[in-house]
Structure 1
């Protein structure tokens, strides 16, 4: 199957993870993606581990793409890039602020040549403010956005999620949503537009429920370790042989869990009669 984006052409000049994964996901939907790298290559090429000499992070972020090496500071290479962009539908960049203008790849320059172009910027901190021109990677925004304050065991200093690149991939999914929406808008208007997502914005959206909790209570949401604040039981437990995850989302599931654990008295205990009471008596039940 060719995919719903068959016939859509993407030029990707992003590097690292969040930007490249936007293009990779568009490729999974059927778009033709050409990734342009400088002669020095994508900056994650040297990240370990590797498979057959290639960085596994690079491989996982750049499937579904064709590749080109172009020094965009060279006039001939720049002309080749412009030829590609003039006929493409989507252009993706995640340069530091000011770099697209210096390279002649700003939205104003490219949209003047190709008014139907959808230009997607994947930034670190957004396009304004004192941090706008600073570099950013997933662990930085985990800390700066407050995400790390929510992770870790209860009573700990937090920060237990750094390794998985969760926020890079969340930002990429946000970028894909923006691109698909812009394609729909272009179908109606005939014109492209400049889109921007950022790691900071996507990560704040990811914390929407905890932010709402803060505004409702005025209290910093606590670190819950393997648990969640609003439901009991709903967490991981260590057994003699492995970790297991246990959750009871409804009262029927709670009754079934008590039966499975051979603890019928819990099902009749007034302290655990409903989820609100189980949350109140969390420590006793856990």
Structure 2
């Protein structure tokens, strides 16, 4: 899943931005220079009149409809959205760089990843990311998601912390001074999140947990389930327990809550599905950006059972 320099990233989603210095160069490299037009929506069988109160967001290059929104919806064009990344990089004293940019579901959602300087989590290097994301289908506005990659094994780190926000909504794009204020606020939230993530990891590394009990709660088997689902859950549990026991990068954390968390994260980050749908890669990338519900549930169970 993790992208290296010059390597197609994120299951072939997006473009690696080697040497790119501005968001303008980034959107050209990632073929995101298209704009979103808003056109009237007409009811089938009644083409003479537009449906009041609604418009369609349409890509101006492919003419594909990205979403139906109210006529009060204000489009944030890609060039304006990603110009915010310039502000983020400009406000950070430590060096940040453009990593990857692309779109999901033919442009319904666009994203850009900016990497921050590497950090350390319980002795391992990890790569923190600021992930800008904007939806053109009306489902969300510009947001920055904070996440990381544990470099040694390419596991994603998207812990939901009670002490720090992982998702930041960006309120202002039009005014330059407001954009700078938003960028400063974002970097402050990011610094706290990644600091608290390191504290969280250290806490889990110091606690013991029975991974079998964790997995039984996370992937249960009950009479209400189909035979197929029970079998699938059993297979997943055995795979994760094998990772927990045999992965080289987890040997220092065997028996610990952090080891259990990372074994599950390894499975969720890197396991291949039995059947890949046409939108599998898009869905997995969206999960990387937004956070993984299974990992959130695993985190809650581990904290409940750890001692």
Q: TM-score, normalised to structure 2's length?
A: 0.23
Q: TM-score, normalised to structure 1's length?
A: 0.24
> Which one has the largest radius of gyration?
1
| Higher percent of residues as strand | 2
